Structure 1
Amino acid sequence: MPQAFRNTFLTLRDLIVSAGPLAFLAVGLLVLAYWWLNPNPPKKVTLATGPAQSAYEEFGKRYQKALAVDGIEVVLRPSDGSSHNLQLLRDGEADVAFVQGGTAELLPDDADNLISLGSLFVEPVWLFYRTDAAERAYNVSRLDGLRQLRGWRVNVGSEGSGVPKLMERLLEANKVEPGAVKMSRLEQTPATVDFLAGKLDALVFASAPESLMVQMLLQTPGVQLLDFAQHEAYARRFPFLTPVTLPRGVVDLAANVPTRDVRLVASTTSLLARDGTHPALLTLFAQNAQKLHGGSGWFNRAREFPNSRASELPIAKEGDRAMNEPVPVLQRYLPFWIANLIERMWLVLGILLAVMLPLSRIVPPLYQFRVRSRVFRWYGRLREVENDLEAGKTDSAELLKALSALEAQAEKVSVPLSYADELYALRNHIHLVRKKLLRASEGAESRPTPDTNHP
């Protein structure tokens, strides 16, 4: 091996051995902190949506597409609706879910186990009825209240949607006796088929206007949408309801659909999550909620949603940050997983740096000791030769032989150039001891031999 390469190799080896324990400690602390903080989210998350062709399903697909950009697979879990979604969260079968306010009873421990990422949009109560049914029952084409549903065949949706419970409360407030309305609990698609076929007189949805069923029925001839003339009074009686108005012509300006302003009552849908859901996933959902629900709609102006005004559960800090603060600087310029890693690890990195900087001061002295020890350890042997010389216990020839062996070993020692003076000092001292040994040897030879035969 060329001497230059050998010197470089030895220098690197000394550096690694000197700084190795400190580097190993730093890496160990980083691994421990990473394991404890778990900064990067799982690659798969389950989102409970709703029935087929519902607004929940449509929004679920939008979240699925948005999170796929950051490498997160969103598994859509169909359900019967809000009540079912809430139960899926409680049972751990979903991580995130759409839940409509007022359609399900919250349990006492829900506030400890569930969190909200904010209210996303309003879901009006759409009560569609057949014009011929109104004419047949009251000789009018339009109804003016829920009390006129007595004796009608009305589908209120599946039990898991929460709409049956909501309708029971609204009918009770209108003093409609239980059983006075023939309520069925079919899912949206079969209920719509029966309604259009005349097997049902009315059907009820609680859905965002993005629902395909809602948009289709709003433009179907012979189908009317109930006008809740007392919508302000409903909002006073039921805190989870909000009075909204479907503006004239908002569905189709050219066809003037609807032909008049329609007053409705609406509940607010929130995005809920289990308390143990990874914070990075909550951040992604909350940030994408700003993009998906922040625009204007039939019942709101731009940037009115998401908000925290109608939340029935504690707002997650990730949701609050997304609603009230701009996107973090790192996330604007770096991939999400890198920005998230830095944001969640920066405190640990700062603490680690504060601890390791003082400890790193021991590395230069340790490195210096290792390099100089390769030279200084031969001084011990040199001292032994010199002591033997002074004591006269060993023959000069043997001492010269030992000194030559020591010098040969010193010739093989390699040190960095910055420590070459130590090596040359060792060789110089060997030379001095050799001269001293030679002088002593010559002096011994020049002294006369005593005459033992002289009387």
Structure 2
Amino acid sequence: MSKILKFTQFSVRDLFVAAAPTIALIAGVCLLAYWLVDPAPPRTVRLATGQENSAYEEFGKKYAAALAKHGVKVTLVPSAGSGENLKRLRAGEVDIAFVQSGSTNEEAAEREGLTSLGSLFVEPLWLFLRETKGKPPITQLTQLKGLKINYGPKGAGAPRLFRQVLELNGVEKGEVERFSLANTPATVELLEGRIDGLVFTSAPEAPLIQMLLQTPGIKLFNFNQAEAYARKLPFLTHVVLPQGIVDLGRDIPAEDYNLIAPTATLVARDDLHPALTDLFVQAASSIHSGAGWFSQQGQFPSAKYTEIPVDAEAAKYYKSGPPLLQRYMTFWLANFFDRMWVVVVALGALILPLSKVVPPLYVWRIRSRVYRWYGQLRAVEQAVEDAPEGSRMEVYEAQLQRLNEIEELVNQVSIPLSFADGLYGLRSHIQFVRKRIQFLMGESAPAVDEAVAV
């Protein structure tokens, strides 16, 4: 049975050896295309957040936890706030950041390679003031003249916004004594009475906001002209802090408060991998989609309320939901199949031309097992032709012995049946050379006998 199996219609081993270089070349090109043309998403990303105890910091931790479930490490980069985050994005120091609306414009964002992944939440301008006995409450921003107000540190979003608001009220630079402390130390200074007020732009989830709203002797400024501010500064929204929203039992606050609010936006560099864009937008939908103090269920995240052009992948998500594959499989597996089109293109470009090379290589490899013995036959014939006259019989006998050895080896050659004609042809040619030598030996024998007789 083993001998029969040697003679088959097809040789898998020979096909594999013939096709191996082509397969290796195709695999190499496909891998190169897979990693270079459409590289895998990085497993680390840098997210610029905000100050200690800020809403940006709290939300940054939630994003880190959400992406960690998919094997992506989010490195949180603390900052002074929106302004510093924008600078770090421009410099390439971070990949993604929280940025306040009004910090830039569409033309500048396109020029600097920035895209929006959607607006996340409104972050009102909170102006907390110390109540002073014997003095009437402050109801107009013009009454801030001469007071000590902390605008926030350089790089935060609040100082720039608050200056714009004061200018609309005709309050000149220098008429308010400005401080530039970070939020936490500024809160301490306010509680100790060393400053008269402080400004935040933050979501209400920030711990300092929650604390100050419930601190006796600290009064939140009511922007009664909020609608006018929103008309003057289009990136602002008029929002209302409802009575009792902080604590219904204690009725905190005791009245509705009108506030003006920019929108927090998730901004990324335009070279952020599309797969990471999908992950961040999905995380944003999970973190910010619920109802809040100033938003309805499902209002955020949104492609609206941002002056920065919305990323194409993010816009697709807001319109159609998560990518189809990511609905049914893990992120990395879905990303793998999503990127396989690169391999398909590479295969299509290579398989057709290279597949034409394999059959000739296979045929050559099979036939070479037969053809190489013709060199041995030619050597035998050459030895016979060059035999010296005095020792021809010895040469003929030696070459017959060599032919027998060649024939024995040829009989052990295994080739597919479709190529057996070449093998039988070789064996007939061996027999032909043998008969020729025997014929020559027959002619030489009388001459040898005559020489012996003499």
TM-score between both structures, scaled by the size of structure 2: 0.84
For residues 49 and 68 of structure 1, what CA distance do their matches in structure 2 show?
17
Distance 1:69-1:169 versus aligned 2 partners, 3 A rule: same
Q: Which runs of 5+ in 1 are unaligned?
A: none
Displacement of 1:171 after TM fit?
A: 1.3
CA distance in 2, matches of 1:176, 1:155: 16
Contact 1:290 1:322 in 2 (8 A): no
For residue 352 of structure 1, what is the amino acid of its counterpart?
A: L
1:100, CA displacement in angstroms? 0.5
What corresponds to 1:287 in structure 2? 282
Are 1:15 and 2:10 matched, yes or no? no
Q: Please say if residues 40 and 337 of structure 1, whose CA atoms lie closer than 8 Å, have aligned partners that are also in contact.
A: no
| CA-CA distance at 1:83 after TM superposition | 0.7
Q: 1:106-121 to 2 correspondence within 5 Å? A: 108=108, 111-121=111-121
Mapped partners of 1:284, 1:270: distance in 2: 16
Q: Which amino acid is 2:424 matched to?
A: A
Alignment of 1:4-403 (within 5 A): 14-103=14-103, 108=108, 111-130=111-130, 132-133=131-132, 135-138=133-136, 140=137, 143-379=138-374, 397=397, 400-403=400-403
Instruction: Indicate if the aligned counterparts of 1:157 and 1:184 stay in contact, CA closer than 8 A.
Output: yes
> In structure 2, what is the Cα distance between the partners aligned to 1:448 and 1:159?
119
SS of residue matched to 2:123 = strand
CA distance in 2, matches of 1:144, 1:351: 69
Separation in 1, partners of 2:275, 2:237: 32
CA distance in 1: counterparts of 2:254 and 2:150, whole angstroms? 25
- Residue type at the aligned position of 2:299: E
CA RMSD of aligned residues (A): 3.7
For structure 2, the residue ranges without an aligned partner over 5 or more in a row are none
Q: Which amino acid aligns with 1:66?
A: A
- 1:58 Cα shift? 0.5
Contact 1:44/1:74, CA 8 A, preserved across alignment = yes
* 1:70–1:336 Cα contact (<8 Å) kept: yes
- 1:412 maps to 412
Contact kept, 8 Å, 1:128 with 1:224, in 2: the verdict is yes
Give the CA deviation at 1:264.
Answer: 1.0
Instruction: Check whether the contact 1:103–1:163 (CA below 8 A) recurs between aligned residues.
Output: no
TM-fit CA distance, 1:91: 2.0
Alignment correspondent of 1:433: 432
Distance 2:78 2:143 in 1: 34
In structure 1, distance between residues paired with 2:442 and 2:82: 110
How far off its partner does 1:253 sit? 3.2
Q: Identity, % of aligned pairs?
A: 45
TM-score, normalised relative to structure 1: 0.84
1:191: how far off?
1.2
Shift of 1:402: 4.1
The size of the alignment, in residue pairs, is 443
Q: Distance in 1 between matches of 2:125 and 2:310?
A: 25
Relative to 1, partners in 2 of residues 1:146 and 1:6: Cα closer, same or farther, differing over 3 Å? farther
User: Which region of structure 1 is more displaced relative to structure 2, 10-19 or 44-53?
Assistant: 10-19
AA matched with 2:281: A
Shift of the alpha carbon at 1:11? 5.4
Which residue number corresponds to residue 421 of structure 1? Answer: 420
- CA, structure 1 residues 137+256, in 2 after alignment: closer, same or farther (shift >3 Å)? closer
Q: 2: distance between equivalents of 1:187 and 1:4?
A: 88
- CA separation of 1:236 and 1:371: change in aligned 2, threshold 3 A: same
Conservation of the 8 A alpha-carbon contact between 1:156 and 1:164: yes
Post-superposition Cα deviations, 1:242-287, rounded to whole Å, max 9, x if no partner, equal 1111223332333333233221110011111223333333332222
Preserved contact between residue 372 and residue 422 of structure 1 (Cα < 8 Å)? no
Do the aligned residues in 2 keep the contact of 1:48 with 1:96 (CA within 8 Å)? Answer: yes
Distance 1:168 1:434 in 2: 108
Equivalent-residue separation in structure 2 for 1:386 and 1:433 (angstroms): 11
Instruction: State the shift of 1:23 in Å.
Output: 1.6
The separation in 2 between residues aligned to 1:31 and 1:434, in whole angstroms, is 54
Q: 1:437 deviation in Å? A: 5.0
Q: Partners in 1 of 2:108 and 2:405 — Cα distance? A: 87
1:168 deviation in Å?
1.5
User: What's the CA shift for 1:29?
Assistant: 1.3
Residues 106 and 151 (structure 1), Cα distance of their counterparts in 2 relative to 1, 3 Å cut = farther
Deviation at 1:202, TM superposition (A): 2.0
- What letter is aligned with 2:232? R
* Stretch of structure 1 that moved more, 437-446 or 308-317: 437-446
What amino acid maps onto 1:185 in structure 2?
Answer: S
Partner amino acid, structure 2, of 1:181: V
Deviates more, 1:320-329 or 1:433-442: 433-442
Deviation at 1:236, TM superposition (A): 0.5
Displacement of 1:70 after TM fit? 2.1
Q: Taking structure 1 as reference, are residues 109 and 166 closer, same or farther at Cα in structure 2, changes over 3 Å only?
A: closer
Contact 1:403 1:430 in 2 (8 A): no
